[in-house]
Chain A
Amino acid sequence: MAEALAPLTVFGKTEARLDRIGALSIAERPDIALASLAARRERLTSLEAAAPAVLGTALPGVSRVAGGTIRAFWTGPAQWLVEAPYDTHEDLAAVLKQNLGGDASITEQSDGWCAFDIEGDATIALLERLCAADTRAMTPGDVLRTTIEHMGCFLICEQAGHAFRLWTARSSALSLHHALTTVAAALP
């Protein structure tokens, strides 16, 4: 039997990338599993009723994030992406399917996306050079869909004015990372 395959980050490395530029840190987060959750037609109410058993909290409303170890963020009407620690939840999609599969369509998205955690006092200054979102007005638990240099992203506010998580497509993550680090280095 063939040997187990080694996972690699989008940078082709085994360790997650971390950049510190001035007072900013930009950290790749391959350790988060991701799955999509979309309510089946006319099953939203029963999905909302069943979700707390999995998430520990109700499904978040428009542009919001909710949950604990497993948390969901709103991506569109009756649609969410669900995050969980990869180490313990590599099978996140399967678990969700088991618990919510009757009411929702679920897909594995862990490797469809790539997350960067951006933290530091210059976070707003960085984001306002990159995307049209009003990041200064975002409060913890807010999520928005926006674009950065033509790349679609989800932007989650973790700490107002200071810490944000950015989800972007895996295939173009290096271009996004280039945009983040280049602009970060250009900040005054």
Chain B
Amino acid sequence: MSQTMRLAGGRIDRATTLSFAFDGRLYRGHPGDTLASALLANGVRLMGRSFKYHRPRGPLSAGSEEPNALVELRSGARREPNTRATVAELFEGLVATSQNRWPSLAVDALSVNDRLSSFLTAGFYYKTFMWPKAFWEKLYEPAIRRAAGLGRLSGEADPDVYDKGFLHCDLLVIGAGPAGLAAALTAGRAGARVILADEDFLPGGRLNAETITLDDAPARAWVEATLAELASLGNVRLMTRTTIYGAFDHGIFGALERVTDHLAQPRPGTPRQILWRIYAKRSLLCAGATERPIAFENNDRPGIMLAGALRAYANRWAVAAARDVAVFTNNDDGHRTARDLAAAGIRVAAVIDSREDAPDTPGVPLFRSAVVTGSRGRLGLKAITVRTAGGRTEEIACGALGVSGGWNPNLQLTCHQRGRPRWDDALATFVPVGGPSGLAVAGAAAGIFSTHGALRGGAAGARAALADLGIAASLPALPRAEDAPVRIAPLWQVKGKGRAWLDQQNDVTVKDVTLAHQENFRAIEHLKRYTTLGMATDQGKTANIPAIAVMAELTGKPIAEVGTTIYRPPYTPVSLGALAGRSRGAEFRPRRLTPSHHWAEGQGAVFVEVGNWMRAQWFPRPGETHWRQSVDREVLATRQAVGICDVTTLGKIDVQGTNAAAFLDRLYCNGMAKLAVGRVRYGLMLREDGMVKDDGTVARLAEDHFVVTTTTANAIAVFRHMEFCRQCLWPGLDVQLISTTDAWAQFSVAGPKSRALLERIVDPAFDLSNEAFPYMACGGVTVCGGLRARLFRISFSGELAYEIAVPARYGDGLIRALMAAGEDLGVTPYGTETLGVLRIEKGHPAGNELNGQTTAANLGLGKMVSSAKDAIGTVLSRREGLNGPDDIRLVGLKPLSPADVIVNGAHLMTEGSPVDAAHDQGWVTSSCHSPHVGHAIGLGFLKRGDRRTGEIVRVVNPLAGTDIRAQVVAPCFVDPEGVRLRG
């Protein structure tokens, strides 16, 4: 028979029955159930095995604080380990599997660990697996990881999508219990922008779990009326299944909305979860409180729960955890559990209250000044042992025990900005003090535990927060509610010989805390790290305070002095998928496309990602089976005829203003002030420390107008640097900057036939002859019948070359026009590989050489650092440390045997000297096969390289085991006199 433990009533929808499976067995439950409540309804108390000792465990709680009832939820790629059964909503077809057990939950071979518990104490691994050292990584750690740990990852890619989002409000109300609902109502009626978020799928908080009345009616009536009113207000956003997991700077909160976790799977394309960033002008924490257990021997058996959880299962989910129950408490709230369970028809075998003045519950046997000293039942509770006031020991048969050691305010969010709570003796718990600016606390989270106090506190908190924002709010009429005071006599542990659990998730017992104390790990943060107390998915919500109290007792200090660990985000677990959002795989970052991208795709280009840009790497032609064939062909075509490359990706920064020339003169180490209008100059930019920052060209289009180019990768960094200089260093200069990188499609047209080709494109009014438009000329032209364009006669390849720019929307048209017009000239498109070969052949430094650790002198460009003026980096480039006798210089490398290959990163060694770091002479920075020279060539940095031309060096790569001989040559393999580019 199914659901044998189901009671009458509850907040479940009995009209619908849901089937689900746990460990392969089928069960039934109802909408409104959690996996834990549905299993309990079916008489299943055993839901997991503990982390270290593999002890049988059932749920301790009925909420997100759960340490024990962790399962693998769903199957296949959607399998999620360590899911708390107490918050997993039941859906049709749910599949859950217990974890950390073999072969089964009931018979777990590794429960042998429990017998070895006297060895497996805190610090066991650190002390035991110390030798031999080499065994740790290969043997010990893998073995320990196999034995410990909890759930298993699916190992497959997450099939779901996750969104991120951003919300703004006047008041964020965290928690939709009595305090939160009253707060939202107050602020909502005042017209403020309100977000009310609750981690539960059913708003109402503790009101859903209690039998208390509001205005003599069931609390549910007020909750529903309030929710209906909030739903009618356009200025209130109610977010259920949404956990505020962190309080960050300036009123920013992180929220995780579980959009479809209550469904078998999301609708295709819709997000499973949304990670919201909430900007709240004010916030009110109404997160309620969490009950804490009392430590006694074997207090971790399935069936032993928090008293409030036992009550919640009965009242909200109509589930009896067992037919016979008992309650162990040190405060009045435990008696409420006994009353409610008795009223629900469950036999309450006994209430054990540690206090002398415990109140009586009619019809329930009461043990005053008594404690529970132990329990019995291998896979579930069968009986408890009670030590009575008279010192007598009595065994009481029961299948469930509700334990209440008092309630702790859920104040974690007040500590996310290093707020420290205050110990309150009367309440026997920590209460919040302050918190992040703009955040106030109300209700049980503030240590106000009565329903009356929560309702009034929530409303008053909202009104105060809004008053702060200048929004007037009046207090709503709130229902009459119970206003019982907190009556508690602290009791943290019942001393005994056996193990008494403090942190059930990490298997930390009183003995472990005692050991930590004995070994001097007494500070609370040390205790945490030594024992793992308070770590993992529950973050010690039920464990921390009792453990702090035990440590306080051991050290003889008041609890207030021991203090708490720092609570940090997240409040409850957040999946990595939600943190990643849509930034996955190909969508990890934006892709930038060049204006010729669609054309290049049509040509079958192979693309490479460069600084987010997709650039054509080479253009394979039919019959070419290796990239080298394509690249060699492209290089030779460019050197012999004409090649075209999309160079739009190079940063273009427009510099205007009456002081633009002076500005650039300070920015570049070489002179720019006297650059003539209509001329381009190569520019070198240094960092403040004298190292080379970037290089590029500076074109003067008018007296007060320049366009500078940057390397592709540094485009944004250089622009930012220039803005910094403009705004902060030299605000007195009249300069305006703006990026025009994307605005212009720019193509390099290079090769001896480049002029002939461009003459067919550029309108005839413009004379491109060498005399009219010489090397390093620039200017505005029109192309293809009047389209505005810019032409620069610059060369990266060493050939006669130009760069031509048109508005980006015409870029596709221009490449097609150039290709068509140049067909008879042998025009060939080339990609970044060819670009690289051309520049290595010419000896131009690029990213490999401009690596942030090289100076102009290292690059052989020392003379560019003008001594006639000052510029950023000039002075520091002259410092002693950068100008030693052994400094590296850029050199060319030519293998002695033409068949040898030169590889980047190989080190240069003097012939005859040992190959070691002490004798290192330099390294290869760039290398390629040069179809022009017919063998491999390289560029590299070599100590005193400028004085070693002709020397034979060894090019050694100990990683690859290669060692070849090469001759040091000038770093220019093509037309060293520069005749071609001036032709």
Chain A interface residues toward B at CB < 8 A: 1-10, 12, 30, 36, 38-42, 79, 104-113, 128-134, 136-137, 149-151, 169-172, 174-176, 178-179, 182-183, 185-186, 188
Contact = CB atoms under 8 A, between A and B. Distances in A.
A112 B742 contact: yes
B919 interface: no
Contacts of B598: 8, 12
Contacts of A183: 163, 582
A150 B593 contact: no
A8 B812 contact: yes
Contacts of B589: 150
B740 A150 contact: no
B813 A8 contact: yes
B761 interface: yes
A135 to B, nearest CB: 9
Contact of B270 (A137, A174, A186): A186
6 contacts: A41-B734, A108-B740, A109-B740, A129-B165, A174-B591, A179-B582
Nearest to B821: A2
B813 A7 contact: yes
B164 A108 contact: no
A83 B506 CA distance: 62
Given A2-B760, A129-B164, A170 B808 contact: yes
Contacts of B269: 182, 185-186
B277 interface: yes
Interface of B: 161, 163-168, 193, 269-271, 274, 277, 279, 582-583, 587, 589-594, 597-598, 612-613, 648, 654, 656-659, 705, 732-736, 738-745, 760-761, 763-764, 783-787, 806-810, 812-814, 817, 821
Nearest to A39: B736
Contacts of B658: 40-41
B759 to A, nearest CB: 10
Given A172-B593, A175-B587, 10 more contacts: A2-B760, A2-B783, A4-B787, A40-B657, A40-B734, A105-B654, A107-B738, A132-B279, A169-B592, A175-B591
A111 B166 contact: no
B736 A38 contact: yes
Nearest to A2: B784
Given A7-B809, A12-B598, A137 B168 contact: yes
B785 A171 contact: no
A111 B597 CA distance: 15
A40 B656 CA distance: 9
What is the interface of chain A mostly: helix, strand, loop, or mixed?
loop
Nearest to B784: A2
A108 B165 contact: no
A106 B737 CA distance: 10
Contacts of A113: 742
Contact of A171 (B165, B613, B813, B821): B613
A27 B567 CA distance: 47
A72 to B, nearest CB: 15
A112 B814 contact: no
B784 A105 contact: no
Contacts, number: 160
A149 B270 contact: no
A148 B598 CA distance: 24
Contacts of A176: 590
Contacts of B812: 6, 8, 12
A169 B705 CA distance: 23
B167 A41 contact: no
A112 B813 CA distance: 17
State the 4 A-B residue pairs at the shortest beta-carbon distance, nearest first.
A5-B813, A112-B743, A12-B598, A105-B656
Nearest to A11: B598
Contacts of A5: 783-784, 787, 806, 810, 813-814, 817
B279 A3 contact: no
A111 B809 contact: yes
A1 B763 contact: yes
A149 B807 contact: no
A2 B163 contact: no
Give the interface centre of B735, B736, B740 by most chain A CB atoms within 10 Å.
Answer: B736
A2 B749 CA distance: 17
Nearest to A34: B743
B810 A40 contact: no
A6 B813 contact: yes
Given A111-B808, A175-B591, A186-B271, A2 B817 contact: yes
Contact of A149 (B582, B648, B734, B760): B582
Contacts of A149: 582-583, 587, 590
Contacts of B705: 105
Contact of A30 (B161, B761, B809, B810): B809
Contacts of A175: 587, 590-592
B165 A3 contact: no
A68 to B, nearest CB: 24
Contacts of A12: 597-598, 812
Nearest to B165: A129
B857 to A, nearest CB: 36
Contact of B736 (A7, A40, A112): A40
A132 B270 CA distance: 20
B163 A129 contact: yes
Contacts of A110: 743, 807, 809
Contacts of A131: 166
Contacts of B654: 105, 107
Contacts of A107: 654, 656, 738, 740, 743
A95 to B, nearest CB: 13
Given A9-B809, A129-B164, A1 B742 contact: no
A6 to B, nearest CB: 5
Contacts of A104: 736
A40 B737 CA distance: 11
A30 B654 CA distance: 23
Nearest to A178: B587
Contacts of B583: 149
B168 A172 contact: no
B91 to A, nearest CB: 18
B466 to A, nearest CB: 17
Contact of A128 (B165, B736, B810): B165
Nearest to A148: B590
Contacts of B764: 1
A57 B365 CA distance: 86
A79 B656 CA distance: 13
B166 A4 contact: no
A186 B812 CA distance: 33
B167 A128 contact: yes
Contacts of A132: 166, 277, 279
Contacts of A41: 657-659, 732-735
B784 A112 contact: no
A186 B163 CA distance: 9
Nearest to B598: A12
Contacts of B740: 107-109, 112
Contacts of B741: 112, 171
B743 A186 contact: no
Contacts of A178: 587
A38 B738 contact: yes
B161 A186 contact: yes
Contacts of A3: 784-785, 817
B582 A182 contact: yes
A150 B612 CA distance: 11
A164 B760 CA distance: 44
Nearest to B164: A129
A39 B814 CA distance: 34
A5 B805 CA distance: 13
Contacts of A172: 590-593, 612
Contacts of B736: 38-40, 79, 104-105
B743 A4 contact: no
Contacts of A169: 592, 742
Given A111-B807, A128-B165, A151 B744 contact: no
B743 A109 contact: yes
A3 B813 CA distance: 10
